[in-house]
């Protein structure tokens, strides 16, 4: 993908939690390329009005103020710097109305790699500023087909007067997170396609394809593919909305692809997002048309064994499958269980579902051996689940004898799908068992606890602001930052 798409940027999403009354803020950003002004990065920040402090203004109303600092650096040299004082709406009573603070900004930046630093602080609070650094790359040119970042959209309207929200004749309010709950049944996105004319020639046909793809096993749910035949020109606007009412809970990619008329892939971009849709459930009749005759599950007639097999698949199950496993399988007849089990593996490998299951069963046995106990199967443990879902870690760091600390282990993955340098922290509450619980991870969708270092030391933090413990208490920071 990188070889084909060396000029294509992934869209990044930063979720900033500066806990309360500590700020809670969401920041999204995306890069685009203006034909007249060149590349630019657009940021959109939403600060939860309930988590800021208010003071009275000269009119007797209450207002909040947040200081923002945006810095773009290359090799520690500051390329661009912007400091902004963001003032909230004045309100009479903060217990009845705490409006969010919104800020959007555009930064013109030449092609290159940057460290993007954002600092957020409540001007009316003594809390330290929250600081986050994110590497970004901007790489647009005028000769090759390129897709901008994909921007998720909260709402839009036709522009009446051009402003900071205006793009291509619309005022577009970004959706500042990549999580869609059951109340958000529309996924709207905006992107731009550049240089089809320069690379393919004037007035040439090409295909634009955009679709939703499962993160776990790469298939595309039904009714979530769109294909358009277009003519080349310098810039195309990609602005579309998917109804995700029937999209099951799970992790997904939103994909955009460009094909020449010879059906050669010319460019591709993708954006990771998560969907929670607990009201959408599997039912026994959903498998009634599955034919298992002469399949590998036809020979599994021991219900107890089949139930065990099905339960072992939960670490890699999607949201609907996991709900079915948790709530339905015990009372189902064996014929339904067989169809469900066969459908599960057929979905993951249409050509050879038996091989897919046997390969997975090998890993289940490894999880039992490494992480299970006499009473607990390996796949039911946190380490077993992570092992089966993401594979073995690249490095493991462990500490068993720190004073006053629980035993803990840190797993480091160099790569998980499109994510890089991800970690899991597990700890054991009882030295006598092999059970380690997941305390913290920086993988999207996994347990995330900024106070994990404190909690390892046999108790809850004394203060909600506590995130670290003194170096004299242990070596977690060294192990976490530089695992070996």
Domain boundaries, position 355: 284-377
- Please choose, from the candidates 149, 85, 89, the residue with its C-alpha nearest in 3D space to the C-alpha of residue 119: 85
State whether 21 and 92 are in the same domain: yes
pLDDT by residue for the chain (484 residues), tens only, comes to: 222 222 222 233 444 444 435 778 889 999 999 988 899 999 999 999 999 999 999 999 999 999 999 999 999 999 999 999 999 999 998 888 888 999 999 999 999 999 999 999 999 988 888 888 889 999 999 899 999 999 999 999 999 998 888 888 889 999 988 999 999 999 999 999 999 999 999 999 999 999 999 887 677 777 899 999 999 999 999 999 999 999 988 889 999 999 999 999 999 999 999 999 988 888 888 888 899 999 999 999 999 999 999 999 999 998 889 889 998 999 999 999 999 999 999 988 989 999 999 999 999 999 999 999 989 999 999 999 999 999 999 999 988 888 888 999 999 999 988 788 999 999 998 777 889 999 999 888 788 887 888 888 865 444 434 444 444 344 555 566 655 4
Whether residue 385 lies inside any domain: the answer is: no
Residue that is last in its domain, among 245, 280, 315: 280
Q: Verify that 255 and 156 share a domain, yes or no.
A: yes
| Alpha carbons 120 and 71: distance in angstroms, whole number | 12
205-214 β-sheet, strand order: 179-180, 265-275, 250-260, 205-214, 225-231
Contact residues for 108 (Cβ-Cβ < 8 A; gap 6+): 37, 38, 39, 40
User: Domains in the chain: how many in total?
Assistant: 4
Q: Write the CA distances from 271 to 32, 165, 280, 300, 358, integer angstroms.
A: 15, 21, 23, 40, 32
Would strands 62-63 and 55-56 be described as parallel, antiparallel, or unpaired?
antiparallel
* Residues 2 and 135 occupy one common structural domain: yes
Query: Full-prediction pTM beyond 0.85?
Result: no
| 134 and 145 assigned to the same domain | no
Chain centroid to Cα 361, Å, comes to 28
Whether 394 and 413 have beta carbons less than 8 Å apart is answered as: yes
CATH number, domain at 252? 2.60.40.3880
């Amino acid at each position: 993908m990188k070889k084909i798409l060396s000029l294509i940027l992934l869209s990044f999403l930063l979720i900033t939690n500066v806990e309360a009354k500590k700020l809670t803020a969401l920041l999204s950003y995306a890069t685009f390329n203006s034909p007249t002004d060149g590349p630019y990065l657009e940021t959109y920040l939403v600060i939860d009005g309930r988590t800021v402090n208010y003071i009275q203004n000269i009119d007797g109303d209450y207002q909040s103020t947040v200081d923002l600092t945006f810095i773009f650096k290359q090799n520690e040299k500051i390329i661009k710097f912007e400091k902004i004082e963001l003032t909230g709406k004045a309100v009479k009573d903060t217990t009845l109305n705490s409006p969010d603070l919104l800020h959007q900004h555009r930064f013109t930046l030449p092609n290159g790699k940057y460290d993007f630093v954002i600092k957020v602080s409540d001007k009316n609070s003594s809390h330290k500023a929250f600081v986050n650094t994110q590497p970004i790359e901007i790489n647009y040119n005028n000769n090759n087909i390129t897709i901008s970042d994909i921007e998720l959209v909260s709402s839009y309207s036709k522009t009446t007067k051009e402003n900071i929200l205006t793009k291509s004749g619309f005022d577009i309010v970004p959706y500042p997170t990549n999580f869609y709950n059951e109340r958000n049944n529309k996924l709207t996105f905006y992107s731009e396609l550049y240089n089809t004319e320069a690379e393919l020639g004037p007035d040439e046909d090409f295909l634009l394809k955009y679709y939703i793809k499962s993160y776990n096993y790469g298939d595309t749910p039904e009714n979530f593919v769109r294909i358009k035949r277009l003519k080349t020109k310098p810039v195309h606007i990609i602005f579309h909305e998917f109804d995700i009412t029937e999209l099951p809970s799970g992790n997904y990619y939103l994909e955009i692809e460009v094909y020449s008329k010879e059906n050669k892939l010319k460019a591709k971009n993708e954006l990771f997002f998560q969907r929670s849709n607990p009201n959408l459930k599997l039912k026994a009749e959903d498998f009634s048309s599955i034919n298992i005759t002469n399949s590998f599950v036809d020979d599994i007639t021991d219900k107890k064994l089949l139930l065990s097999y099905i339960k072992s698949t939960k670490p890699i199950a999607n949201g609907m499958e996991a709900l079915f496993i948790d709530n339905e399988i015990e009372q189902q007849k064996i014929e339904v269980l067989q169809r469900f089990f066969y459908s599960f593996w057929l979905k993951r490998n249409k050509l050879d579902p038996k091989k897919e299951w046997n390969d997975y069963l090998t890993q289940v046995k490894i999880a039992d051996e490494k992480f299970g106990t006499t009473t607990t199967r390996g796949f039911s443990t946190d380490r077993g689940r992570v092992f089966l879902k993401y594979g073995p870690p690249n490095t493991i760091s462990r500490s068993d004898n720190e004073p006053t600390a629980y035993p803990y282990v840190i797993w480091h993955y160099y790569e998980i799908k499109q994510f890089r340098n991800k970690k899991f922290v597990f700890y054991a509450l009882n030295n006598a068992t092999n059970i380690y619980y997941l305390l913290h991870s920086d993988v999207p969708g996994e347990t995330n606890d900024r106070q994990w270092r404190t909690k390892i030391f046999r108790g809850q933090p004394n203060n909600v602001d506590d995130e670290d413990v003194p170096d004299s208490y242990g070596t977690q920071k060294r192990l976490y930052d530089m695992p070996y």
